């Protein structure tokens, strides 16, 4: 069973701080990694995708991937109250027929 | 605007009743998916389809059925055999193949049992 693990939180940070969200995965051959943001009662929204080792930046968001450690993270700089949501990590295991595996999500609260 | 439309937003099921959730997309995506989300839990795959008239079971297909008669449509039926149907149901679509298989989600249907 391919697994994706996330700390369920809640993670609480003050406004303006850096929020760091972490995710580990079990399938060493995984190639594609995604972060989704889900507000309460709403559907997930894709915010970042990463495929190669290293960092990928998009505005206030940075995704970091370390395939050797089977670890992917999401950093949110200058956190805003509007960033308060549950963040889902999703990993596509190796193999053409494999579907995305989702973690259970980390709930982030940004305090004004 | 391109997107995925799910209906209804809220649905109530009586015991012994089958109910159908609608999902339509105009993104020209080949693949469509149904997920179930329980409170505080991640997404669990029910069924998926990569081509018209073909679909595969996901991790929790028992008590559910689907059809894919058109590329744009992928309805989900929650049958009376599903004894614990209360959950948030999400439909998604994506392109097929390659690394860039990003999922785009509809707005979801909250199903509750009366």
Question: B68-110 pLDDT, tens per residue?
Answer: 999 999 999 999 999 899 999 999 999 876 656 788 999 999 9
Q: What is the DSSP string of chain A?
A: ---EEE----EEEETTSPEEEEEEES-TT--EEEEEEE-TTS--EEEEEE-SSEEEEETTEEEEEETTTTEEEEEESS--GGG-EEEEEEEE-SSTT---EE---EEEEEE-
Residue B33: what pLDDT? Answer: 95
Residue of chain A minimizing CA distance to B38: A104
Average pLDDT, chain B: 92
Q: Tell me if chain A has a CB within 8 Å of the CB of B108.
A: yes
Contact B108 A31 (CB under 8 A): no
Residue of chain A minimizing CA distance to B42: A104
Averages of pLDDT over runs of 10 residues in chain A (112 residues) are 86 97 94 94 94 95 96 97 96 79 94 95
Question: B20-62 pLDDT, tens per residue?
Answer: 999 999 999 999 999 999 987 889 999 999 999 999 999 999 9
Residue B95: what pLDDT? Answer: 87
């Amino acid at each position: 069973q391919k697994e994706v693990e996330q700390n369920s939180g809640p993670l609480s940070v003050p406004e303006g701080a850096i929020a760091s969200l972490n995710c580990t995965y079990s399938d060493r051959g995984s190639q594609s990694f995604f972060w989704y943001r889900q507000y309460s009662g709403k559907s997930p929204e894709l915010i970042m995708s990463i495929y190669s080792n290293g960092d990928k930046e998009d505005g206030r968001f940075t995704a970091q991937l370390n395939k050797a450690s089977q670890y992917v993270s999401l950093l949110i700089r200058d956190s805003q109250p509007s960033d308060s949501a549950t963040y889902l990590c999703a990993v596509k295991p190796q193999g053409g027929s494999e579907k995305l595996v989702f973690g259970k999500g980390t709930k982030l609260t940004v305090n004004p | 605007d391109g997107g995925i439309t799910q209906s209804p937003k809220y649905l109530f099921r009586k015991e012994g009743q089958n109910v159908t959730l609608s999902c339509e997309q105009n993104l020209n995506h080949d693949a469509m998916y149904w997920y179930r989300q329980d409170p505080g839990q991640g997404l669990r795959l029910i069924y998926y389809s990569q081509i018209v008239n073909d679909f595969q079971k996901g991790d929790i297909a028992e008590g559910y059925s689907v059809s894919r008669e058109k590329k744009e449509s992928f309805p989900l039926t929650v049958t009376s055999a599903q004894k614990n149907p209360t959950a948030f149901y999400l439909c998604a679509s994506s392109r097929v193949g390659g690394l860039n298989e990003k999922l785009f989600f509809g707005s979801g249907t909250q199903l509750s049992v009366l």
